[in-house]
Structure 1
Amino acid sequence: MAEFLSLREAVSKYINDGDTVAMEGFTHLIPFAAGHEVIRQKKRNLTLIRMTPDLVYDQMIGAGCAKKLMFSWGGNPGVGSLHRLRDALENGWPNSIEILEHSHAAMACAYDAGAAGLPLAVLRGYVGSDLPKVNDQIKFIECPFTGERLAAVRSVRPDVTVIHAQRADRKGNVLIEGIIGIQKEAVLAAKRSIVTVEEIVDDLNAGVNACVLPSWAITAVVEAPKGASPSYALGYYDRNNAFYKEWDSIARERDTFQAWLKKNVFEKGAA
């Protein structure tokens, strides 16, 4: 059953150096507040998993938290490159990192297999792709029923999954509204999970076919208003498009990035 903790407590208790950590949320509900707390606590040697690593992972990589990144697309949406990721890959600053690249379809299938407790996922894909040449977790198998050649990928089973959502009730059940990415599967695939929410309420008021994560699937619930900003949370606040544009110049140089990190992450703290 989920326990209610502060963000500081949840990250300290459930994210350890060397863990494999997934932080998911597609377009909105990206867990920025949790990512910043990981930075503040100076977690190290993390293997970061995210289908679409964007600003939050650029910040964590630039802060020295990561040793490896597993992903299927990386960039600043609508703007350009992730400069801290590029600096780590090209120049080893602040430390070098490994990358493991998949397709979107393979990542989604790998999470789904992890949620089902399976060791691998099978899909039609990677035919003609060069990714199998650089990713040793992509194999090809023969279907025992049809003889068809299919791709197989190792399932994703993180030590910890972190997501953001709109609401949790006082029993620890969580409601996710709006665009649903891979959050549900990422939580179910993980050994432990932290869910930050905009608010804790008496009743979720969940509609028919709503995405509700049950308390038994969640390790810790954290009330963290605006915990997804500068991304958006449907029904609570809009995306801060200006910041995504500003990030390009902030992250481009090490000095401006470090100054931003000091002012906006380390000096702000978390409850």
Structure 2
Amino acid sequence: MIVPLDEGVRELVGDGDTVALEGFTHLIPVAAGHEIIRQQRRDLTLVRMTPDIVYDQLIGAGCAARLVFSWGGNPGVGSLHRFRDAIQHGWPRPLEIEEHSHAGMANRYVAGASGLPFAVLRGYAGTDLVGQTETIKTVECPFTGERLAAVPALNPDVAIVHAQRADRSGNVQLWGITGIQKEAVLAAKRSLVTVEEVVDELEPVPGQVVLPSRVLSAVAVAPGGSRPSYAHGYYARDNSAYQDWDAVSRERETFARWLEDEVGAPAQLPGKAG
């Protein structure tokens, strides 16, 4: 159950998989994302409610063929330049996108975790997403006749999340600002959780979420595994890293050097610098 991070990624993430790395501003599984890059996984469908710089890195490294999301950007800074380069110029490969609202994505995970084929919500009204996204439909309520939005369940091949700690049996505990991590894990076929530490016993914490070992495929110890995002009770958000990423990611050559120096991944630069 408790394995090294490289082994966990090797065993659970394969080429062509649908992979969700979730965490909302907090507990973002960055170390796991870097391990996917190092292992050069390809043709992934990446799923995330709010793709930020770790997805920019995965896209720029050529791991992603498709992105399913509801918002993408470098929080508090601006655009994701590797994401933009893939959309506008097909570098390092073309990227297909499927865009939803936050509520739509959350409801899709909940439907997947609940074993339902789709979710129904009041949403998307007044937007053009319905006309742009094939996985948004409308249905009529059989009781009131109201027209509602319907979106298919999300059931990733692999869900990866970061948490504060696990016990030696592989039960995981996270707290602070949590997003859709629990639902993503329950919806997925396989799951990997990286944690700051393994302890003998999980002491209760206000607002905690506990993921029992029976719903997890593997746990990997990765201290600092969510940096530059933060882990409540362990370390703060590194705002300067998000600001620095804007310059690092603007040019292909600069990004390639960063990939080699900081992630230990081979740089591949097809085509000219953009």
TM exceeds 0.5? yes
Q: What are the Cα deviations for residues 60-84 of structure 1, in whole angstroms up to 9, with x where unaligned?
A: 0000000000000000000000000
- Tell me the secondary structure at the aligned position of residue 150 of structure 2: strand
Provide TM-score, normalisation by structure 2: 0.96
Q: 1:172 aligns with which of 170, 173, 176?
A: 170
Unaligned runs of 5+ in 2: 267-274
- Tell me the secondary structure at the aligned position of residue 247 of structure 1: helix
Counting matched residue pairs gives 266
Correspondence for 1:152: 150
Q: Does the 8 A contact of 2:32 with 2:160 survive in 1? A: yes
- Partners of 2:47 and 2:265 in 1: how far apart? 27
Correspondence for 2:272: none
- Partners of 1:147 and 1:257 in 2: how far apart? 52
Q: Does the 8 A contact of 2:41 with 2:63 survive in 1? A: yes
Correspondence for 2:73: 75
Letter in 2 for 1:227: G
- Partners of 1:217 and 1:235 in 2: how far apart? 25
Q: What are the Cα deviations for residues 40-95 of structure 1, in whole angstroms up to 9, with x where unaligned?
A: 00000000000000000000000000000000000000000000000000000000
Q: Is 1:40 equivalent to 2:46 in the alignment? A: no
Greater shift in the superposed pair: 205-214 or 56-65: 205-214
Greater shift in the superposed pair: 93-102 or 258-267: 258-267
Q: Does the 8 A contact of 2:28 with 2:162 survive in 1? A: yes
Residue 219 of structure 1: how far off its partner (Å):
0.4
Correspondence for 1:185: 183
Correspondence for 1:256: 254
Correspondence for 1:129: 127
Residue 209 of structure 1: how far off its partner (Å):
5.2
Letter in 2 for 1:237: Y
Q: 1:240 aligns with which of 235, 238, 241?
A: 238
- Partners of 2:126 and 2:153 in 1: how far apart? 22
Correspondence for 1:4: 2
Greater shift in the superposed pair: 168-177 or 199-208: 199-208
Residue 207 of structure 1: how far off its partner (Å):
3.2
Letter in 1 for 2:258: W
- Partners of 1:240 and 1:209 in 2: how far apart? 24
Provide TM-score, normalisation by structure 1: 0.97
- Partners of 1:76 and 1:210 in 2: how far apart? 28
Greater shift in the superposed pair: 66-75 or 203-212: 203-212
Correspondence for 1:141: 139
**Cα-Cα RMSD:** 1.1
Correspondence for 2:197: 199
Structure 1 ranges of 4+ moved more than 3 A: none
- Partners of 1:267 and 1:237 in 2: how far apart? 26
Correspondence for 1:119: 117
Correspondence for 2:49: 51
Residue 267 of structure 1: how far off its partner (Å):
6.4
Q: What are the Cα deviations for residues 99-136 of structure 1, in whole angstroms up to 9, with x where unaligned?
A: 00000000000000000011100000111210011100
Percent of aligned positions with the same letter in both sequences? 64
- Partners of 1:27 and 1:72 in 2: how far apart? 14
